[in-house]
Amino acid sequence: MNRRDSLKALGFTTLSAGLLLEACKTDTKKGAEETTTAAAGDETGRQPFEVERDKKLHADKFFTAAEMATITVLADIIIPKDDKSGSASDAKVPDFIEFIVKDIPDHQTPMRGGLRWLDLQCLNRFGKPFTDCTKDQQIQLVDMIAYPAKAKPEMAQGVAFFNRMRDLTASGFFTSEIGVKDIGYAGNQPGKWTGVPEDILKHYGMENVKASASM
């Protein structure tokens, strides 16, 4: 599953806009790399209550080490490293997800339940948890839940979990420095007037106006 396939599966043009807004609209809902900066103690331009709140969120741990390992593997399957940019884990997406589920607790039960569902599926199919499976085995299971229209009814819980995981991964990646560069977003840029375009002047029979005005 390459990055192009991953983004097609995301339906990127209609990607969970609400989740992206939740991830970006306040200082407490940061991009992946910003959550790490905040954890390192950068308090510039932030209110004391924001600093204290984030310190508490970062001090608490929700996911276990095993769950974080699974999240990291899944995130890198969804957005792998390619010749253009780094992977989801390179953009610190797992840390972003850890932060978001503490900041928005409604994610906690579906995420933990989905991770356990994933391990149970792997144990039943391959005799080992997800992170111990081979890459081919991991992709085999992911393919069963990554495409809702093709998924079997009995995989509904896995589909719901993967949809959430995919949204969180994309939100973390595309609000990080790596992700912003990946899509080529340059931000607001000052405009520069260079005059009426030549094709417009020609259309109105005014192609000589510019030359006359410069004499």
Who has greater pLDDT, 93 or 54? Answer: 93
CA atoms in the 13 A half-sphere facing the CB of 7: 12
The span from the CA of 124 to the CA of 214, in Å, is: 79
The span from the CA of 132 to the CA of 171, in Å, is: 27
pLDDT in tens, 8-29: 455 454 454 445 445 444 343 4
Say what the pTM is. Answer: 0.70
pLDDT reported for residue 196 = 82
SS3 63: coil
Who has greater pLDDT, 42 or 53? Answer: 53
- Burial of residue 186, with CB atoms counted within 10 A of its CB: 0-12 exposed, 13-18 middle, 19 or more buried: exposed
SS3 96: helix
pLDDT in tens, 80-95: 999 888 999 999 999 9
pLDDT reported for residue 116 = 98
pLDDT in tens, 114-131: 999 999 999 999 999 999
- Burial of residue 205, with CB atoms counted within 10 A of its CB: 0-12 exposed, 13-18 middle, 19 or more buried: exposed
Q: What is the DSSP letter of 116?
A: H
The span from the CA of 111 to the CA of 131, in Å, is: 16
